[in-house]
C-alpha cells in the first residue's frame, strides 16, 4: 500500500504541476485536463439556442473544431454533480445507460432540478455568494448564519425569482436577524465599524460585488478611479468617489443595531428612519480616507444617474433600479455559468468592466471587449430577465445546451487560444463537500456535508474561519474539508485549485480510510461483479478492459477483503474521482 501511495503521490504532484502550468498559460483558473482515453460520442452540430448559436458560431468563424459529444456516463456524472453536488448512485447509472429514449438527457436535467439535492447544492452556493458566515469581528452570530441559511433554502425550495431574492435582501427591515434571515445580508457591516459612513460604504461594496459583479467599487469608495484603476478597468478609471457615495446614500436613512439586552450580543435590527441626516461628508476619521467637502450626499443610481422619486423609500428605489439594470442579469448569469463551465464568460467574475461589455459599441483601442463572448453574455442576460429571473430555467438552458455536453477530451491538437471559445468542456475539481459526500455515498457509510448547513454544519476550521463558524479545526473531517479549500466566506473564497495536501488527505485521512472497507454483502459478489460495482458506485462508469484486468489481479493477490479495500482506496485516489469531467 505504501509503494502504491508513494507512486500515486508522485503522479499526482506531476499532474498538479501540469494543471498549474495550463492555468498560468491561459491566465485562467479553469482546469483544462481530460481523462486520457475517454470515449466520446458522435459529433454534434450547432444548436439553435442562445448558447449554441453564439458559441458554435464563434468557433466556426475562428475555424475551431469543437470537441465531440460526451458519453452518456460522462453526462450523467457531470450534470448530477453540477446540479446536486452528488455523484449518481450505481442504480441510477445502470438505469440511465440502459435508457434508449432520445430525450433522456433532458428528462434527467428536469429530474435533478426538481430534486432536494438541487436545493442543497445551491443553498451552499448562495451562502458562499452572499458571504453568510459567523464573523465575530462584525458581530455576526451563529443565529444570524442559521436564519439566513434557512431563508436561502426556503427561497430555492419555492423557486423564488432571483430578482425578488435580491430586492428582499436589500430592503429587509425588522427587529431580529435571528428570526428573519434576510436581515443578515446587510449585517456584515457590524458595530465594530465605528463611523456611520464606513458602515454604509460596506453595504455598497457588498451589494456591488454580489449583485453587479463589481468588486472595484470598494476601491472607488476610497478614491477616484483615475490613477488607481487606469490599467484595470475602463469604467473604473472614469468613476469618481462621489458616485460611490451616491450609491451609499441609499442607505443613509437606514438604522441598524443590536437588539440584545447586553451590548453586542444580537440579534440585529434594521429600521428606516426618515429623520436620520443621511450620508454626510466632511469626515476625517474612520477606515477610509477623509471625505472632503460638506453637506449631505443624495442617493443616485450609478449607471443611469436616476434619483429616487420624491417620497420614495431609498432602499426600495435602489432595489428596483438595480434589478432592472442589465448588469444585474449579466452578473448573475456569469456567476452561474462559471459553476457549470469552470470559468466565467467574464473573469474574474467579480471584476466586471461595464464600459467593455457591448459588442455593438466596443471600447476604444487599446481596450478590448472584456467577455470572451460578449454577445452570448448579453443575450443570456436578456433570456434570464425574460424568464423572470428563474434560476432553474437558466440552469436548464445551460445544461441542455450542446456546448455543455461537449466532451472534455479533444481528439485533435488543443491550442491555448481555443480556451475562450469553450470548444470543449473544462474539468473542475469537486468542492470539498462534494468530495466528502461522494466518498460517503460510494462507500455506503453515511455522512453528508452539502445538506448539513444549519445548525449542525461541518466541523469548524478556525475562529470564525469556516462558513459555519466555530473553534479550531482538529476534527479529521474538518482537516479534510479545509485541504480542499472550501473557503471561509469572509476573506478566503472557495477555490478549485490543486495542492499536494489534497493527495495526502485522500490517501491517509481517517475519514477516507474508515470508508475503504468493502461490506460483507458486496464481497459476496463474483470478482467481475464486485469490480463493476465499485467502479459504477465510485466513478459512475464501468471499468475499461485494462482496469478490469488490473483490478482482477489485485483481488486475487491476497486476502480478498483487504484487496477489495485497496481497490476502493485506489478509486478514491483517481483523478477522475475528484474532478468533474
pLDDT digits (tens, 9 = 90+) for 41-84: 444 444 679 999 999 999 999 999 999 999 999 999 999 999 99
* Rounded Cα gap, residues 383 and 51, in angstroms: 11
Highest-confidence segment of 7-16, 46-55, 466-475, 524-533: 524-533
Quick one: DSSP state of residue 579? E
* Rounded Cα gap, residues 57 and 61, in angstroms: 6
CB-based contacts of 470-477 (< 8 A; 24+ apart in sequence) = 470/134, 476/509, 476/510, 476/511, 477/436, 477/449, 477/511
Question: pLDDT band at 190, cuts 50/70/90?
Answer: confident
Mean pLDDT, rounded, for 287-293? 92
- The neighbour count for residue 68, using CB atoms within 10 Å, is 20
Per-residue pLDDT of 541-570, as tens digits, reads 999 999 999 999 999 998 999 999 999 999
**pLDDT value at residue 189:** 77
Least confident of 304-308, 368-372, 474-478, 548-552: 474-478
Question: pLDDT band at 348, cuts 50/70/90?
Answer: very high
In a 10 Å sphere around its CB, with 0-12 CB exposed, 13-18 middle and 19+ buried, how is residue 151 labelled?
Answer: buried
DSSP alpha helix (H) spans, 371-519: 374-386, 391-399, 432-443, 476-483, 500-508, 510-513
* Rounded Cα gap, residues 489 and 493, in angstroms: 6
User: Percent of the chain having pLDDT more than 70?
Assistant: 86
Indicate if the pLDDT at residue 35 is higher than 60.
no
pTM of the model: 0.90
**pLDDT value at residue 414:** 94
- The neighbour count for residue 390, using CB atoms within 10 Å, is 16
Residue with the bigger pLDDT between 229 and 448: it is 229
Nine-digit cell string for 210: 454580489
Question: pLDDT band at 34, cuts 50/70/90?
Answer: very low
- Rg over CA atoms, the chain: 25
Indicate if the pLDDT at residue 12 is higher than 60.
no
What's the whole-number average pLDDT of the chain? 88
- The neighbour count for residue 40, using CB atoms within 10 Å, is 19
Q: Write out the DSSP string of 467-483.
A: TT--S---SHHHHHHHH
Amino acid at each position: 500500500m505504501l509503494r502504491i501511495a508513494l507512486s500515486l503521490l508522485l503522479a499526482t504532484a506531476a499532474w498538479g504541476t501540469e494543471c498549474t502550468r495550463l492555468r498560468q498559460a491561459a491566465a485562467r483558473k479553469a482546469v483544462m485536463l481530460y481523462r486520457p482515453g475517454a470515449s466520446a460520442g458522435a459529433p454534434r452540430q450547432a444548436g439553435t439556442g442562445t448558447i449554441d448559436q453564439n458559441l458554435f458560431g464563434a468557433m466556426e468563424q475562428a475555424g475551431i473544431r469543437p470537441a465531440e459529444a460526451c458519453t452518456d456516463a460522462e453526462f450523467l456524472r457531470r450534470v448530477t454533480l453540477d446540479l446536486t453536488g452528488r455523484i449518481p448512485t450505481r442504480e441510477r447509472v445502470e438505469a440511465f445507460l440502459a435508457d434508449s429514449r432520445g430525450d433522456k438527457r433532458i428528462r434527467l436535467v428536469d429530474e435533478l432540478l426538481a430534486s432536494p439535492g438541487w436545493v442543497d447544492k445551491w443553498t451552499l452556493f448562495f451562502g458562499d455568494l452572499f458571504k453568510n458566515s459567523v464573523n465575530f469581528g462584525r458581530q455576526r452570530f451563529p443565529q444570524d448564519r442559521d436564519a439566513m441559511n434557512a431563508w436561502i433554502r426556503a427561497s430555492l425550495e419555492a423557486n423564488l425569482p432571483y430578482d425578488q431574492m435580491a430586492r428582499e435582501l436589500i430592503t429587509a427591515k425588522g427587529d431580529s436577524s435571528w428570526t428573519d434571515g434576510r436581515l443578515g445580508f446587510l449585517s456584515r457591516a457590524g458595530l465594530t465599524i465605528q463611523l456611520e459612513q464606513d458602515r454604509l460604504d460596506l453595504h455598497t461594496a457588498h451589494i456591488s460585488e454580489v449583485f453587479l459583479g463589481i468588486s472595484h467599487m470598494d476601491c472607488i469608495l476610497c478614491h477616484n478611479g483615475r490613477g488607481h484603476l487606469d490599467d484595470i478597468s475602463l469604467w473604473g478609471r472614469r468613476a469618481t468617489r462621489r458616485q460611490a457615495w451616491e450609491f451609499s446614500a441609499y442607505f443613509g436613512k437606514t438604522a441598524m443595531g443590536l437588539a440584545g439586552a447586553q451590548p453586542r450580543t444580537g440579534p440585529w435590527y434594521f429600521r428606516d428612519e426618515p429623520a436620520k441626516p443621511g450620508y454626510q461628508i466632511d469626515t476625517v476619521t474612520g477606515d477610509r480616507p477623509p471625505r472632503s467637502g460638506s453637506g449631505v450626499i443624495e442617493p443616485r443610481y450609478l449607471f443611469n444617474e436616476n434619483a429616487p422619486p420624491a417620497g420614495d423609500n431609498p432602499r426600495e428605489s435602489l432595489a428596483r433600479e438595480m434589478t432592472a439594470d442589465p448588469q444585474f442579469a449579466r452578473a448573475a448569469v456569469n456567476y452561474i455559468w462559471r459553476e457549470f463551465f469552470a470559468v466565467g464568460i467574464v473573469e474574474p467574475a467579480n471584476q466586471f468592466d461595464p464600459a467593455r461589455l457591448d459588442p455593438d459599441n466596443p471600447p476604444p483601442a487599446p481596450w478590448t471587449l472584456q467577455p470572451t463572448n460578449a454577445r452570448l453574455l448579453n443575450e443570456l442576460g436578456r433570456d434570464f430577465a425574460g424568464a423572470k429571473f428563474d434560476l432553474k430555467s437558466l440552469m436548464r438552458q445551460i445544461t441542455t445546451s450542446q456546448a455543455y455536453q461537449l466532451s472534455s477530451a479533444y481528439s485533435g491538437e488543443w491550442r491555448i487560444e481555443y480556451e475562450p471559445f469553450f470548444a470543449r468542456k473544462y474539468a473542475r475539481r469537486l468542492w470539498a463537500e462534494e468530495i466528502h459526500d461522494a466518498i460517503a455515498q460510494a462507500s455506503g457509510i453515511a455522512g453528508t456535508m452539502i445538506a448539513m448547513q444549519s445548525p449542525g454544519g461541518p466541523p469548524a476550521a478556525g475562529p470564525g474561519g469556516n462558513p459555519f463558524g466555530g473553534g479550531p479545526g482538529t476534527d479529521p473531517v474538518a482537516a479534510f474539508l479545509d485541504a480542499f479549500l472550501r473557503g471561509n466566506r469572509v476573506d478566503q473564497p472557495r477555490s478549485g485549485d490543486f495542492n499536494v495536501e489534497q493527495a495526502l488527505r485522500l490517501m491517509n485521512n481517517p475519514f477516507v480510510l474508515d470508508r475503504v472497507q468493502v461490506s460483507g454483502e458486496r464481497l459476496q459478489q463474483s470478482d467481475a461483479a464486485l469490480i463493476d460495482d465499485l467502479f459504477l458506485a465510485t466513478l459512475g462508469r464501468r471499468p475499461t478492459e485494462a482496469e478490469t484486468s488490473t483490478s482482477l489481479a489485485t483481488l486475487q493477490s491476497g486476502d480478498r477483503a483487504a484487496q477489495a479495500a485497496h481497490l476502493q482506496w485506489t478509486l478514491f485516489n483517481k483523478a477522475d474521482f475528484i474532478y468533474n469531467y
